[in-house]
Structure 1
Amino acid sequence: MVTSIPVVESSLTTPRVRLVSFDQPWEWLAAGWKDLWRAPVASIPYGLLFVVMGYVLVYLVESSFQYALALTTGFLLAGPFLAMGLYDISRRLEAGQPATLGRALTAWRRNVLPIALFGILIGILMIIWARLSTLLFALIIAGQSTTLDTSTAQLFFSGSGLTFLIVFTLVGAVIAAAVFTISVVSIPMMLDRKVDFITAVLTSITAVKANPAPMALWAGLIVIFTGIGLVTFYLGLAVTLPLIGHASWHAYKDLVEDNDLEQQPL
């Protein structure tokens, strides 16, 4: 018997969140892998957009290492929102509907206002993270060169560089954990149902609180696969991000019951 809990005890309109087993994230990955190869013509080009985006961002800020580092790691913050089209591909595959790149790129139209509000929130967090990482860099490695060509040696072979990496990682982990908590369920939920921004975020928070161990594993897997994509000079993102995106749809379907809130017409 599947155990579930309400998001808000006193509300009749919020969904119920299921309790899942610790190893459930591996099943989400397996389901995501199947979706990736059921619709490769839509999924792989969608992933390639992340590759192009990565190269453009690095090109724009290549003379400022701290911004390049912040924007690169920012994939972990913006990824859940940018992967919305991948959720839609999995949703369509599940419903037996045609899944195309064009439909994936316009998936936001299914629930415009709540999705737009979440996009604004992610944009604000990205700006805060970029400014904060620049401030940390200036305080810890003040007065040193910040070009991409010279900063790698400074970071890994100097005391101030290692200090910066430790602080940068710890602060980034806190922000990434907060974004993960509010987005892991909310974005696919807003895409799937007629649900408002607040309800979706509360549902996501409840899902994480109710399943701390499996959600910690899931967050770790997301970091690992995103990291693989980044260390392969962004090329790996063409596969790893679609895999994570499709798997995230299955995570949402497992974590949130689908009989409490009205779903949007297909």
Structure 2
Amino acid sequence: MEQTSVAADVAAEEIVVNQINLSHPWEWINKGWRDMMNARRYSFTYGAVIVLISGLMTLGLMREGLFYIVPFLAAGFYLLAPIIGLGLYQMSARLEANEPVQFCSALEAWRRNQAQLGVITAGLLIIMQLWMMSNFVLFALLFDGMHPPLENFFGSVFLSGQHNAFAFASIAVGFILAWVAYAISAISVPMLIDRKVDGFTAIRTSVKAVLQNWVPMTFWAVLIVCFIGLGLATFYIGLALMMPLLGHATWHAYRDLVPREQ
């Protein structure tokens, strides 16, 4: 009850968002690299766990003959990355406060505002489900069964020129869902572990930050796509570096975009 009342009081106040420029994303990367090096034992362990879980999930799907789902789960990784990086934000917060970094940072961060973090997590999971469902519908329209051969899918849809309408629809839906997910989660998760605010206030502030600074925030989104893409392209191994780097950098993005509480 106390946590809810505090969150309600903060939500009643309009949270100011700072104006940034195109140089800020690179500053976030530099600060993220510094945090990653200062907490390298914990950061790289965190990244290694992400690689391990991703690899095991992929192997499990291959054994069940569901490998065709893997590319779409990889795309869904972008949607869930803000929650996956939860522990990395907590590490940066501890470094910022000159406090010792420790294991189980994700659990510590979750406990700080777990009910409201659940709101963000549920929203991102719903968006991921919409992404998966939209592609299953596309599969149903293009193929006789629900298990189309992966090696023929991309060539048939994107290269043959026979299904341009479906290809365009898939790309358009994916882009819209990805942009919505990015807008609501760009800084909302770090904000929820830093302040006792409700999830909808954090979402509203995140959307405001993206729209108010749409040029640098779009550039930041492109950097995120490229960095995570490099991690995925190396059969997840690169995620051991890219996820900690982006996670720490996201904390500094939040710090630059939202003024500290007085």
Q: 1: distance between equivalents of 2:156 and 2:49?
A: 31
Partner residue of 1:240 out of 238, 242, 247: 242
Give identity over the alignment, percent. 39
Q: 2: distance between equivalents of 1:16 and 1:68?
A: 40
Matched ranges for 1:91-240 at <5 A: 91-143=93-145, 146-148=148-150, 151=153, 154=156, 158-159=160-161, 166-240=168-242
Tell me, yes or no, if the aligned pair for 1:84 and 1:188 is still in contact at 8 Å.
yes
Q: 1: distance between equivalents of 2:152 and 2:55?
A: 19
Compute the displacement of 1:105 (Å).
Answer: 3.8
Give the aligned partner of residue 20 of structure 1: 20
- Normalised by the length of structure 2, the TM-score is 0.87
Deviates more, 1:62-71 or 1:94-103: 62-71
Q: Which runs of 5+ in 1 are unaligned?
A: 1-10, 261-266
Q: 1: distance between equivalents of 2:12 and 2:120?
A: 24
Compute the displacement of 1:146 (Å).
Answer: 2.6
Helix, strand or coil: the match of 1:15?
coil
Opposite residue 38 of structure 1, the aligned amino acid is N
Distance 1:166 1:243, change over 3 A: farther
Give the aligned partner of residue 32 of structure 2: 32
Give the aligned partner of residue 69 of structure 1: 71
Compute the displacement of 1:65 (Å).
Answer: 4.6
Tell me, yes or no, if the aligned pair for 1:31 and 1:246 is still in contact at 8 Å.
yes
Give the aligned partner of residue 50 of structure 1: 50
Helix, strand or coil: the match of 1:19?
coil
Matched ranges for 1:4-19 at <5 A: 13-19=13-19
Q: 2: distance between equivalents of 1:167 and 1:235?
A: 32
Opposite residue 177 of structure 1, the aligned amino acid is W
Deviates more, 1:158-167 or 1:202-211: 158-167
Compute the displacement of 1:162 (Å).
Answer: 7.3
- RMSD across aligned positions (CA): 2.3
Q: Which runs of 5+ in 2 are unaligned?
A: 1-10
1:108-160: CA deviation from partner (whole Å, max 9, x where unpaired): 00111101121122222222221222212222344596345665665665445
Compute the displacement of 1:166 (Å).
Answer: 4.7
Q: 1: distance between equivalents of 2:221 and 2:72?
A: 19
Compute the displacement of 1:173 (Å).
Answer: 1.5
- Normalised by the length of structure 1, the TM-score is 0.85
Q: 1: distance between equivalents of 2:143 and 2:170?
A: 12
Opposite residue 186 of structure 2, the aligned amino acid is V
Tell me, yes or no, if the aligned pair for 1:141 and 1:161 is still in contact at 8 Å.
no
Opposite residue 193 of structure 1, the aligned amino acid is R
